[in-house]
Structure 1
Amino acid sequence: MKFNYKISYSIWLILPLLFISCEDFVEVEAPDNKLVSDVVFNNDATAESAMTGIYNQLFLADFSSGQRTSVTFLSGLSADNFQNIRSSNITRMEFEQHEITPDNPGNLDIWASAYNIIYLTNSLLEGLNNSEQLSSELKTQLEGEARFIRAFSYFYLVNLYGDVPLIVSTNYHDNQLASRTSSAEVYEQIISDLEIALDSLSSEYKNGERTTVNKFAAASLLARVHLYLEDWGAAERLSSEVIDQNETYEILEDLDQVFLANSKEAIWQISPLGGGGQITNTNEGSLFIIDPIFSFFAVIKMEEGFVEQFDQEDQRLSNWIGYNEELDAYFPFKYKVWSSNELPILEYSMVLRLAEQYLIRSEARAKQGDLIGAIEDLDVIRIRAGIASVEESNPGIGEEALLDLIMKERQKELFAEWSHRWLDLKRTDRANDVFGSNPMWDPTDILYPIPSQEREKNLNLSQNPGY
Structure 2
Amino acid sequence: MFHSKPTTIMIHRIYILLLSAILFVGCQSDLLDTQPYDNLGESQFWITEKHALMGVNAIYNNLTQDMVYGQYFMLDCLSPYAYGYDFFEAEMTSSTTPYSATYSGKWSQLYLGVQRANDALDRIPAMSSLSDAMKNRLIGEAKFLRALHYFNLMDFFGAVPIYETPVVYSEAMKPRNTVEEVSAFIKKDLTEAIELLPVSYASADFGRATKGAAIALRGKTALYIQDFENAENDFKTVMTMTYDLHPNYAELFKAKTENNKEIIFSIQNIATAGFGESMSFRLGTRATRGSCWTNGIPSPTLVDMYENIDGSPFNWDKVIPGFSSMTADQKSVLFSEKSNVEKAYQNRDPRLQTSVIVPWAEYVGASNVTYKLAWPFKSAASPTFHIQHNWNANAIYVWRKFVAVGDESLLREAGPIDFPVIRFADVLLMFAEARNRRIAAPDAEVFSAINKVRTRAGLPALQNTSAAAPTYSATKADMTKRIIQERAVELAAEGVSYSDVRRWKIAEQVNNGPILEFTGKTLKTRVFQPRDYLWPIPQSEIDQNKAIVQNVGWQ
- TM-score (normalizing by structure 2): 0.71
Q: 1:207 to 1:49 in 2, by over 3 A?
A: farther
Work out the number of aligned pairs and report it.
432
Q: Match for residue 265 of structure 1? A: 262
Q: 1:257 to 1:439 in 2, by over 3 A?
A: closer
Match of 2:435, as an amino acid? Answer: R
Q: Does 1:66 align with 2:92?
A: no
- Residues 176-185 or 48-57, more deviating: 48-57
- Show the 5 A alignment for 1:155-166: 155-166=151-162
Shift of 1:45: 2.4
Q: Distance in 1 between matches of 2:97 and 2:269?
A: 32
Match of 2:259, as an amino acid? Answer: N
Q: Distance in 1 between matches of 2:17 and 2:543?
A: 34
Match of 1:270, as an amino acid? Answer: I
Shift of 1:378: 0.7
Q: Does 1:402 align with 2:474?
A: no
Q: Distance in 2 between matches of 1:2 and 1:114?
A: 10
Q: Match for residue 19 of structure 1? A: none
Q: Distance in 2 between matches of 1:127 and 1:352?
A: 29
Q: Match for residue 120 of structure 2? A: 124
- Show the 5 A alignment for 1:50-199: 50-59=55-64, 61-67=65-71, 71-73=72-74, 75-85=75-85, 89=86, 92-172=88-168, 175-199=171-195
Q: Match for residue 551 of structure 2? A: 464
Q: Distance in 2 between matches of 1:307 and 1:176?
A: 46
Match of 1:379, as an amino acid? Answer: N
Q: Distance in 2 between matches of 1:52 and 1:107?
A: 25
Shift of 1:125: 0.5
Q: Find the residue that maps to 2:95 and give its secondary structure.
A: coil
Shift of 1:410: 0.9
Shift of 1:340: 2.5
Shift of 1:263: 2.3
Match of 2:489, as an amino acid? Answer: K
- Residues 128-137 or 445-454, more deviating: 128-137
Q: Does 1:353 align with 2:423?
A: yes
Shift of 1:8: 8.7
Measured on the aligned residues, the alpha-carbon RMSD in Å equals 3.0
Q: Match for residue 444 of structure 2? A: 372
- Structure 2 counterpart of 1:332, from 364, 374, 399: 399
Q: Match for residue 244 of structure 2? A: 250
Q: Match for residue 31 of structure 1? A: none
Percent of residue pairs bearing the same amino acid type:
23
Q: Distance in 2 between matches of 1:446 and 1:126?
A: 34
Q: Distance in 2 between matches of 1:141 and 1:153?
A: 19
Q: Find the residue that maps to 2:553 and give its secondary structure.
A: coil
Q: Distance in 2 between matches of 1:187 and 1:320?
A: 33
Q: 1:140 to 1:396 in 2, by over 3 A?
A: same
Q: Distance in 1 between matches of 2:123 and 2:176?
A: 26
Match of 1:398, as an amino acid? Answer: T
Shift of 1:280: 6.7
Q: 1:330 to 1:280 in 2, by over 3 A?
A: farther
Shift of 1:417: 1.3
Q: Distance in 1 between matches of 2:21 and 2:416?
A: 30
- TM-score (normalizing by structure 1): 0.84
Shift of 1:341: 4.8
Q: 1:455 to 1:291 in 2, by over 3 A?
A: same
Contact 1:10 1:52 in 2 (8 A): no
- Structure 1 counterpart of 2:18, from 11, 16, 37: 11
Q: Deviations over 1:177-229 (max 9, x none)?
A: 12211111111110011111111100012544431111001011111111122
Q: Match for residue 39 of structure 1? A: 44
Q: Does 1:454 align with 2:541?
A: yes
Larger radius of gyration: 2
Q: Distance in 2 between matches of 1:398 and 1:65?
A: 36
Q: Match for residue 370 of structure 2? A: none
Q: Does 1:288 align with 2:288?
A: no
Match of 2:356, as an amino acid? Answer: I
Q: Match for residue 335 of structure 2? A: none
Match of 1:360, as an amino acid? Answer: M
Q: 1:371 to 1:301 in 2, by over 3 A?
A: same
Q: Distance in 2 between matches of 1:441 and 1:14?
A: 38
Q: Match for residue 318 of structure 1? A: 353
Q: Find the residue that maps to 1:142 and give its secondary structure.
A: helix
Match of 1:384, as an amino acid? Answer: R
Q: 1:173 to 1:263 in 2, by over 3 A?
A: closer
Q: 1:394 to 1:203 in 2, by over 3 A?
A: same
Q: Deviations over 1:310-336 (max 9, x none)?
A: 124211101111244443422333213
- Residues 292-301 or 139-148, more deviating: 292-301
Q: Distance in 1 between matches of 2:544 and 2:305?
A: 46
Match of 2:277, as an amino acid? Answer: T
Q: Distance in 1 between matches of 2:493 and 2:269?
A: 18
Match of 1:372, as an amino acid? Answer: A
Q: Distance in 1 between matches of 2:422 and 2:15?
A: 23
Contact 2:263 2:420 in 1 (8 A): yes
Q: Find the residue that maps to 1:352 and give its secondary structure.
A: strand
Structure 1 unmatched runs, 5+: 16-33
Q: Distance in 1 between matches of 2:181 and 2:187?
A: 10
Match of 2:262, as an amino acid? Answer: E
Q: Does 1:238 align with 2:234?
A: yes
